[in-house]
Structure formats: structure tokens, C-alpha cells
Chains A and B, each alone.
Chain A
Amino acid sequence: MTANGARHAFVTLLKRDLLLAARNRGELINPLLFYIIVATLFPLGVTSDPATLATMAAGVLWIAALLATLLSLDSLFRSDFDDGSLELILLSPHSSIVLVLAKVLAHWLVTGMPLLIVTPLLAMLMAVPEDARATLWLTLALGTPVLSLVGAIGVALTVGLRRGGALLSLLVLPLYVPVLIFGANAVGASAAGLPVTGQLYMLSAFLVLALSLAPLATAAALRISID
């Protein structure tokens, strides 16, 4: 009964957040646009030589994806905090951890997933070697959910502050660095024909760790922010 209720609450909250995103399409497009703009301006601004581009492409795409996620984080709890919905969520008898997970999943579906969809196209534009394209996509597929999950902790801690933006970056960026290192490194290794299973296992471990611990920390942080 309660498990059913929690599942129903999870699904309803997920649907509501997707519906909200669909009705605020401007917000939805922003991180994706940022990602595309960085990837298209880079060859124009630096060099159009495919060989040079190829060496930087993985890093550039990974950094662009990371910053695009960072840009979109603030919207995760902001409107719920401002209009009082967050109190409703935290006062629900269902586990806040489950509800937080629904919100983060919605955030990833709205920001992380579109990045994944355009990545193959941008990889071609940035002259990523053919062998490394699948690795790039895979590392982003494993890495962007970690970015959303870890970012949620930072947003939850800063949502009560008027100007939490700078603080949020300071809190979250150090935690993003390992993901960036393993992600970009895997693409480089795969372009050089080296095995990348190690890096992929590492990213998978990050994902499992974030999936199990981040919602816990986020729910606790939200409770502090709303006190």
C-alpha cells in the first residue's frame, strides 16, 4: 500500500516536472543551445584543422556538457522553493529520497538526455575519430546523470540563499572534476586505440555511488534549506 503510494507519488512528480518543462520550453532549450553553440564556435575560433580539433574535441565536448548542466541546475528546486511546493514535497508521508530522485530524474531527462541526442552530430563536427565516438557517447551517458545527481546536493544546499549561484559552482565543481577526468580521458584513450574498460568501470561506479547516496544528501540538504 505505502510502496504503491510512493511509486505513484514518484511517477506523478516525474510527470509533473516533465509537464512543467514542456510548458516552459525556453528553459528546456537553454542548456542544449549552450552545448551546441560551444561546439560550433570552437572550430571557428580555434582552428578548423581536423587533426588539431580531434585532439581537443573530447575535452571541449565534456566541458561544454558539464557547464551546460551547471547552468541548468538552479532551476531544479528554485521554483518549488519559491512557490511553496517544496514544503508540500517534504511534508509528504512518502520518502523524500524517492521524491528527490523523481525530481533529479526529470532534470536529467530534460537537460542531460538532449545533450546525448545531439552528441553524435557534434562529435562529427568536432572531428572526433570514428573509433572514439561510441566511447564519447557512452562516457556522457554514464557521466551526465552523475552531474545531475551531484549537482542536486549543491542546489539543495544553496536554494535558500538569495545569491547562491557562485557558491553553487564552488561546491559542485570539485565533485565534477573526477567525472570530467575519467570521461575525457576515456575518449582520448579510445582514439589512441587503448582499452577504456577501466575508465568506464570507474564512471559506472561513480554513477552507482551517486545514485545511492546523492538523493539522501539532497533530501537532508533541502530540509536544512527550508528550516
Chain B
Amino acid sequence: MTQAHEAPAQGAAPESLLAAAGLACFRGDRLLFQDLDLSVAAGQSLQIRGPNGCGKTTLLRILCGLTTPENGTIRWRGRALGPRDPDYLRDLRYIGHNDGVKLVLSPRENLRMAMALESGADEAALTRALARLGLSGFMDVACRTLSAGQRRRVALARLTLGDARLWLLDEPFTALDSAATKAVHMLIEEHLDGGGCAVLTSHQPVRIDAAKSTSLDLGA
């Protein structure tokens, strides 16, 4: 398997970071997808497309290990992943449907928690991360008083903390205004240029340089 995987690396194609083969998933007794293969190379983004309910979120959850697939294997840098691989988790940043933001805490307190859980960034990086998403004036107010879009930005600010190479983004642009959407696009582009990779779902148009993006269509 490893040989088969490394073979394409001989050509011009860049190193494949994340690869999945033969994924299958049921929700209840409904088959969402089967024999699904995907591969994302360093510096590439993969957009998962499809109508509502076709399993985009489930696929992302499978990729980060929250949901166990019926079948199939996931490889990270050529190594098959077991359950809860700490090295993989350290390399991964997942922004789910829910923001994971505590409403009675301030954005700063929320990020401090996220930082302790997933990366070792310092306080200065935290301030910078919030500033990049336009939350400079709101760092110390309770998230309860922020709008849905601002809460989404608090969640997205986690992306710039630490140096995770794989971003899994579930509808990152939901509730964001055009300035914030642009800021997040820039974050993703920078991440890809730095050798990272990203898998995302979005119903909004995604404007990432075509050379850096591929897509995958899930049938309904």
C-alpha cells in the first residue's frame, strides 16, 4: 500500500498529505457514500460539493476521526491512521458546524482554552489572531453580546494559532460578511502557500486560485 501511495510522488505531482481510500458511511440505514477515495496534496485545497444531506459534514467528521466510517482507511503522510493518533490530531484543525464558542466567556478566554487544547501558541499570537479577523474591539466582551458572524470569526481565529498542516473547515463562510469572507480566503491561501492543505465544504462560492484547488462531488 505504501509503495502504491508513494509512486505518484515520483512525478510532478506534489506530495500527497491526506489520502483516504474506500470510505463508506451509513447514517441510520441510509448509505451516504461508498468506495470514496480522496487525496489532498501539500499546498492544495479540496472542496467537497453536493446538495444538503449528501454527507459532506459526515465526511469531514470521518476525516478528523469523530465519526467512524463503515469501511475504508485514512492515511496521513503515507501512514495509516489508527483511532486518535496524537501526531495527526496535533497536525489537524477542525472547524465544525458548531462554533465551540462559550457565550458567557469573552473571545480571548475562548481562544485561550482552544489554545491550551490544541496548540502551544502564546498570548501575543492570540491577540494577533483575533485582530486578523476584525475582532480587535471585542476581545474582552462576552460572546453572548456578539453577532453570529462575530462568533464564527472567534471560532475561525483558532486557525492561525499554532501550525497545523491540515485544516478541515465545515461551512467556514456561514454568517460572515464580505470583509470577513475575504479575510478567511486570505488565511486559507496563506496556509496553502505555506505547504498546508485544507478540506472544506461551502455553499458560498469559494475563490481559491484554481491551481491550488480541487473538488469532489458527493451525489445525493
A9-B104 contact given A91-B64, A227-B67, A227-B68, CB 8 Å threshold? no
- Chain A 1-24 near chain B by CB (<8 Å), digits 1 or 0: 010010011011100100110011
Enumerate A14-63 residues with CB–CB distance to B below 8 Å.
Answer: 16, 19-20, 23-24
**Contact at A84–B100, with CB atoms within 8 Å?**
yes
**Nearest CB on A from B97, distance (A):** 7
Q: Complex formed: what's the CA distance from A19 to B97 in Å?
A: 25
**Contact at B117–A89, with CB atoms within 8 Å?**
yes
Interface assignment of A161: CB less than 8 Å from any CB of chain B: no
Question: In which size bucket is the chain A interface?
Answer: 20 to 34
Q: Which residues of B contact A90 (CB under 8 A)?
A: 66
Instruction: List, sorted by A's number, 26 A–B pairs whose CB atoms are closer than 8 Å.
Output: A5-B120, A12-B112, A12-B117, A13-B113, A16-B105, A16-B109, A19-B109, A20-B104, A20-B105, A82-B98, A83-B99, A83-B101, A84-B101, A85-B101, A85-B102, A85-B113, A87-B66, A89-B117, A91-B64, A91-B66, A91-B89, A92-B118, A99-B117, A226-B66, A227-B66, A227-B67
Picked from A19, A84, A93, the residue with its CB within 8 Å of the CB of B105 is A19
Interface assignment of B116: CB less than 8 Å from any CB of chain A: yes
- Chain B 90-111 near chain A by CB (<8 Å), digits 1 or 0: 1010101111111111000100
Interface assignment of B50: CB less than 8 Å from any CB of chain A: no
**Contact at B118–A13, with CB atoms within 8 Å?**
no
Residues of chain B touching chain A, judged by Cβ–Cβ distance below 8 Å, are 64-68, 84, 86-87, 89-90, 92, 94, 96-105, 109, 112-114, 116-118, 120
**Contact at B117–A84, with CB atoms within 8 Å?**
no
Q: Which residues of A contact B92 (CB under 8 A)?
A: 91
Interface assignment of A78: CB less than 8 Å from any CB of chain B: no
**Contact at A13–B99, with CB atoms within 8 Å?**
no
**Contact at B102–A24, with CB atoms within 8 Å?**
no
Q: Complex formed: what's the CA distance from A87 to B109 in Å?
A: 18
Q: Which residues of A contact B103 (CB under 8 A)?
A: 83
Q: Which residues of A contact B64 (CB under 8 A)?
A: 91
**Contact at B104–A24, with CB atoms within 8 Å?**
yes
Residues of chain A touching chain B, judged by Cβ–Cβ distance below 8 Å, are 2, 5, 8-9, 11-13, 16, 19-20, 23-24, 79, 82-85, 87-94, 96, 99, 226-227
Other contacts beyond A13-B117, A88-B100: 18, CB < 8 A:
A5-B120, A9-B117, A12-B113, A19-B105, A19-B109, A83-B99, A83-B101, A84-B99, A84-B101, A85-B100, A87-B66, A88-B117, A90-B66, A91-B66, A91-B118, A92-B89, A93-B86, A93-B118
Picked from B87, B100, B102, B105, the residue with its CB within 8 Å of the CB of A87 is B100
**Nearest CB on A from B184, distance (A):** 18
**Nearest CB on A from B29, distance (A):** 16
Pick from A20, A79, A91, A94 the residue with the most CB of B within 10 Å. A91
**Contact at A88–B104, with CB atoms within 8 Å?**
no
Q: Complex formed: what's the CA distance from A89 to B103 in Å?
A: 17
Q: Which residues of A contact B87 (CB under 8 A)?
A: 93
**Contact at B98–A87, with CB atoms within 8 Å?**
yes
Q: Complex formed: what's the CA distance from A8 to B94 in Å?
A: 21
Picked from B90, B96, B101, B112, the residue with its CB within 8 Å of the CB of A93 is B90
A87-B94 contact given A9-B117, A92-B117, A93-B86, CB 8 Å threshold? yes
A9-B116 contact given A84-B96, A91-B89, A92-B89, CB 8 Å threshold? yes
**Contact at B112–A87, with CB atoms within 8 Å?**
no
A93-B89 contact given A13-B113, A13-B117, A88-B118, CB 8 Å threshold? yes
